[in-house]
Amino acid sequence: SQTIHQWPATLVQPVGSPLSLECTVEGTSNPNLYWYRQAAGRGLQLLFYSVGIGQISSEVPQNLSASRPQDRQFILSSKKLLLSDSGFYLCAWTRRTDTQYFGPGTRLTVL
Amino acid sequence: QQQVKQSPQSLIVQKGGISIINCAYENTAFDYFPWYQQFPGKGPALLIAIRPDVSEKKEGRFTISFNKSAKQFSLHIMDSQPGDSATYFCAASWSDKLIFGTGTRLQVFP
């Protein structure tokens, strides 16, 4: 069966510090991978998605970036965090069946 | 055209009642419509999904009704239970991406 992991689970970072969030998927190969952000009490905003290694599509211009160094690894990064980057970050995968499966999320607080 | 409009924003239902959440879309290219359930601090989990060639799909107490001509779909939760208290998101799939509604916070009181 497939499993998706995200870490860390929670993170508190000062404004201007760098960020690295990691997502890995087990039990499948060549998945589509997605990063979403969810602000408190709000819906899900698609940030990036990837259909293969090194292939990244950005949906919303901002100070975040994404990379996919391995088939089942997706990383979300920032060089300098802003207060507005606070939120709940979710990784998801699909094996081209439309259904997306979400990870447990990372709660990021920027102070 | 890429939006999915969801209502109501919040819903309070008594135990045993029917919860109804509605969604509407504009893009006729959408070809898959899932509903997700999210508990606080957790990732969304797929609840039930439908394709536009079907008008209704039922799984246990959860039913999706789909009206292709009106470009609307809804989630019905029969015999609502306190354990159903969560946020529900509708979504529509297009070109390997999901467009989500803004969510409905459901509270079921005993």
Q: From the CB of residue A54, how many other CB atoms can be counted at a distance below 10 Å?
A: 8
Is A103 an interface residue toward B (CB < 8 Å)? yes
CA distance A104 to A107: 10
Task: With a cut of 80, say whether residue A41 has pLDDT above it.
Answer: no
Cα→Cα distances A73→A22, A52, B3, B81, Å: 7, 10, 29, 38
Residues of the domain holding A89: 3-110
* B89 → closest Cβ in A32, A43, A99: A43
CB contact under 8 A, B102 and A43: yes
CA distance A43 to B83: 21
Q: How many independent structural domains does chain A possess?
A: 1
CA distance A75 to B96: 19
Task: With a cut of 70, say whether residue A27 has pLDDT above it.
Answer: yes
Which residues of B touch chain A, with CB atoms under 8 Å apart?
31-32, 34, 36, 41-46, 49, 89, 93, 96-98, 100-103, 105
pLDDT at residue A39, as a whole number: 84
Residue of A nearest to B48 (CA): A99
Q: What is the DSSP string of B24-85?
A: EE--TT---EEEEEE-TTS--EEEEEE-TT-SEEEETTEEEEEETTTTEEEEEESS--GGG-
- Indicate the domain borders of chain B: 4-109
pLDDT at residue A92, as a whole number: 97
Q: In this structure, are residues B50 and B73 in contact, taking their beta carbons and an 8 Å threshold?
A: yes
Task: With a cut of 80, say whether residue A71 has pLDDT above it.
Answer: yes
Q: What is the pLDDT of residues B76-101, one digit of tens each?
A: 999 999 999 999 999 999 888 899 99
Q: Which two structure tokens, joined as six digits, stand for A12?
A: 């508190």
Q: Could you tell me the CATH superfamily of domain B4-109?
A: Immunoglobulins (2.60.40.10)
Q: Percentage of chain A surpassing pLDDT 90? A: 82
Is A80 an interface residue toward B (CB < 8 Å)? no
* B97 → closest Cβ in A43, A46, A102: A46
* CATH code for the domain in which residue A21 is found: 2.60.40.10
Among B41, B7, B25, B11, CA closest to B98 = B25
